[in-house]
């Protein structure tokens, strides 16, 4: 259900979500938000929707280092739980005390490491239409372990 991959290119409204344009950035991506996955020389390219529940959200071009076969294999992995309890920093202030917040795994859109790799940004849908980005007191690798990938 969730894919751990390195995103090499991600074009959103004329901008990019990739900080390291040479090597790409590690992300956790929800397989259900991927459409038209195609093979390319370094892995796959696809259209990725931040919020597949919102018909106003357009798919954005994303290129990653995972092959279509690896993506299909990752989609078949059964998560250890259908919910996640995340230690969320109020208002993204990492000096504050984190508060536990429960989200449905199916609503997770993407996750990536903060510039301080001890923390992770998580984007998920809320109430079907809303997207929410939170800063969590967990590393990206540990979030993957929590999910079961």
Please tell me the predicted confidence (pLDDT) of residue 22: 78
The reply to whether the predicted model has a pTM over 0.75 is yes
- Asked if 54 and 87 sit in the same domain, the reply is no
The alpha carbon dihedral of 115, 22, 10, 83 has a sign of negative
Listed residues 75, 97, 127: the one ending a domain: 75
pLDDT of residue 8: 94
Report the alpha-carbon distance of residue 2 to residue 144 in Å, rounded. 9
pLDDT of 128? 65
| Virtual torsion, Cα 54, 134, 111, 79, nearest 10 deg | -80
105 and 61, same structural domain? no
Mean pLDDT, the chain, whole residue set = 89
Same domain, 109 and 88: yes
In the predicted structure, residue 85 carries a pLDDT above the cut 80: yes
Q: Are residues 64 and 102 in the same domain?
A: no
My answer on whether 8 and 32 are in the same domain is yes
Examine the domain organization and report whether 65 and 6 are in the same domain: yes
Q: Summarize pLDDT for 104-131 with one digit per residue, the tens.
A: 998 999 999 998 889 999 999 887 678 8
pLDDT of residue 29: 95
* Full domain range(s) for residue 89: 83-147
Give the residue ranges of DSSP H helices in 22-139.
Answer: 68-75
8 Å CB contact between 97 and 87: no
What does the pLDDT look like over 41-80, one tens digit per residue? 999 999 998 877 776 777 889 999 999 999 999 888 888 8
Q: Domain check: are 127 and 100 in the same one?
A: yes
Q: Which of 75, 100, 123 is a domain's end point?
A: 75
Q: Could you say which of 75, 105, 137 is where a domain stops?
A: 75
For residue 135, give the nearest of 80, 82, 87 by alpha carbon.
87
């Amino acid at each position: 259900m969730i894919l751990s991959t390195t995103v090499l290119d991600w074009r959103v409204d004329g901008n990019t979500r990739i900080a390291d344009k040479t090597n790409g950035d590690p992300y956790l991506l929800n397989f259900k938000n991927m459409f038209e996955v195609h093979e390319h020389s370094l892995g796959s390219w696809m259209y990725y929707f931040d919020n597949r529940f919102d018909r106003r959200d357009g798919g954005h071009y994303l290129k990653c280092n995972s092959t279509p076969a690896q993506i299909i294999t990752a989609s078949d992995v059964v998560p250890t739980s259908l919910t996640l309890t995340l230690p969320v920093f109020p208002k993204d202030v990492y000096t504050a005390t984190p508060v536990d917040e429960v989200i449905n795994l199916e609503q997770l859109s993407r996750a990536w490491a903060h510039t301080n790799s001890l923390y992770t940004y998580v984007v998920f849908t809320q109430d079907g239409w809303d997207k929410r980005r939170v800063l969590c007191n967990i590393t990206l690798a540990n979030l993957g372990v929590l999910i079961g990938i």
